[in-house]
Amino acid sequence: MIDYRLDNLAIRDYDAFLTYFRSLLVTGMAEFTGCLSSLDYTSVTEDGTTKWYFTADLSMAEKSILAKTVVLKWWEANIQDIVVYQPHMSSKNFKQLQESQSLKQKSEYKDKLGEELSRAITEYQMDNLSSLPFWGG
């Protein structure tokens, strides 16, 4: 993900940056249906600093899927940004058409990200078929 706003946030307030990504992760975890590991996510405070962690060790496939959910949630927030819907600089028709076309392309890309996430979850479950509760795992 390349986002100058996130880069600036990381430079100016790294804790706020981590909080923002943690919110994307937490909302994205709901997208990972059928995860075989516990997605319990908690924190511990030591020496005045709070560290967040998963209570279970996650496999590389599970981490990859969670990363995809973060990207999807970030992209959804990008599409829903109110600035996208407001005319910039000019209110001429061609400018508004250009913005609507951009929004359409962003929406199509979000759909593609969702499809990739769904495919990754399906592959993950197929690789672990015997461990799924339905199959007695």
Read off the pLDDT of residues 24-77 as tens digits, 9 standing for 90 and up: 999 999 999 889 999 999 999 999 889 999 999 999 999 999 999 999 999 998
Kindly report, residue by residue over 85-135, the tens digit of the pLDDT: 555 545 555 455 566 667 788 889 999 999 999 999 999 989 888 887 766
pTM of this prediction exceeds 0.75: yes
Q: Are 17 and 25 in contact (CB under 8 A)?
A: no
Q: Which residue did the predictor score with more confidence, 93 or 3?
A: 3
What are the structure tokens assigned to 62, written together?
């599970």
65: nearest Cα among 117, 1, 128, 10: 117
Tell me the residue type at 4: Y
Instruction: Please count the structural domains in the chain.
Output: 1
Residue 28's contacts (CB-CB under 8 Å, 6 or more residues apart) are 66, 69, 70, 72, 73
Contact present, 124 and 65 (Cβ < 8 Å): yes
Three-state secondary-structure class, residue 54:
strand
Q: Euclidean distance between the first and final Cα of the chain, in Å? A: 36
Contact (Cβ atoms closer than 8 angstroms) between residue 106 and residue 72: no
Structure tokens at 96: 């508004």
pLDDT band of 79, cuts 50, 70, 90: confident
Separation of alpha carbons 132 and 115, rounded Å: 22
Per-residue confidence (pLDDT) for residue 132, from 0 to 100: 75
Range of the domain at 22: 4-135
